[in-house]
Amino acid sequence: MSKKTNVLFLWKIDDELKKHFQKTFSKDKNTELVFPASFAKKNLLKLSKDADIMIGWRPSLEQLKAAENLKLFINPGTGVKHHIKNFREIYKSRKVTLVNGHGHAYATAQHTVAMLLSLMGRIVAHHNWMANGIWRTSDDKDIFSASIPLKDRKIGLLGYGAINKYVHQFLSGFENEFHILKRDKSKGIPGQLKKNKKNNIYDITELNKFLKTIDILIVAVPHTSKTEDLIRDKELKLLGKNGLLVNVARGTIVNEDSLYDALKNKIISGAATDVWYNYSPKKDSKGREFPYNSKRNPFHKLNNFLLSPHRAASPFDDISRWDEVIENIRRVAKGNKNYLNIVDLNEEY
């Protein structure tokens, strides 16, 4: 009799998702799902010893070392920068594959496009004016109330993973050129989108050329040591005074001080972001929490900036986003090592 594939969940998942996993694997006698009754360190270390697969976000190095049979670690979200150091250490003695999850990519891409169009159409500003009884039907350049046309804009996709591939698909019905900066430009563009003659591809060595060419920059590149602070003063100046920026990757890919300065001084036209710089902000004297340095960089006071509270992946209870996780569990059980979304520890994503 073959050994069961032991799958350990490292967090208390909600009942609906738990039932979904149980139902999915109810007829699979070779897969054992382990939902810990206690998340105390001692218990997790004990359960880790028999785990073939672990699913979670922040396991300790001690826990990974305790998991002597571990074949696959599944990070359900995209970001894996916090895992790289520990998995490089584990890799010195045995091969444990790290994968991440792209199940939220469609929702995040939808939110990305929504932020871009809201920023260009000044939707939030006009909503707030109307909510206060101010009805503007004409444009007032002094308060930045005019919409920005999307037609003929040159859209730059920084990173071409699951999110920006969907963004490309969603925006392809508009009359735009697409400029795509990706790790390996020799692979080109997949599927139907490659038929568009307005696609132009770059690699990281051509970042300056890429930024000079475009006037809309959509940032959905992985967060690594190489992409930290990738966009600073120089890069924003290259984007230009008509440039727009949308960031759904990680806040620190776009330098905080540089972004604020570029918006305040109209070095670029506007920006929208769903990702931030401080995820444990202290409340100010009015009880407000700002995920950035609100004294030095009061983004909330700018009229050319759209703020979103890191919710692009909503709805978070969408069960279908776990399909990739389920498929990877099945591949381990079948002895298939061709996992989905394998992380390259050298590239850090």
pTM of the model: 0.92
Structure tokens at 51: 């785990």
Architecture, CATH, for domain 105-307: 3-Layer(aba) Sandwich (3.40)
Q: What is the pLDDT of residue 89?
A: 96
pLDDT tens digits, one per residue of 57-70: 999 999 999 999 99
Q: What is the three-class DSSP state of 155?
A: strand
Non-local CB neighbours of 163 within 8 Å, separated by 6+ positions:
78, 102, 105, 108, 109, 112, 220, 248
Q: What is the pLDDT of residue 275?
A: 98
Q: What is the pLDDT of residue 203?
A: 94
Tell me the domain boundaries of the chain: 5-103+316-334, 105-307
Q: What is the pLDDT of residue 1?
A: 45
Q: What is the pLDDT of residue 114?
A: 98
The residue length of the chain stands at 349
Distance of CA 347 to the CA centre of its chain: 16
Question: How far apart are the C-alpha atoms of 216 and 155, rounded to whole Å?
Answer: 5
* Superfamily name and number for 5-103+316-334: NAD(P)-binding Rossmann-like Domain (3.40.50.720)
pLDDT tens digits, one per residue of 314-333: 999 999 999 999 999 999 99
Can you list the residues of the chain whose pLDDT is less than 70?
1-2, 142, 190-197
Q: What is the pLDDT of residue 195?
A: 61
Distance of CA 87 to the CA centre of its chain: 21
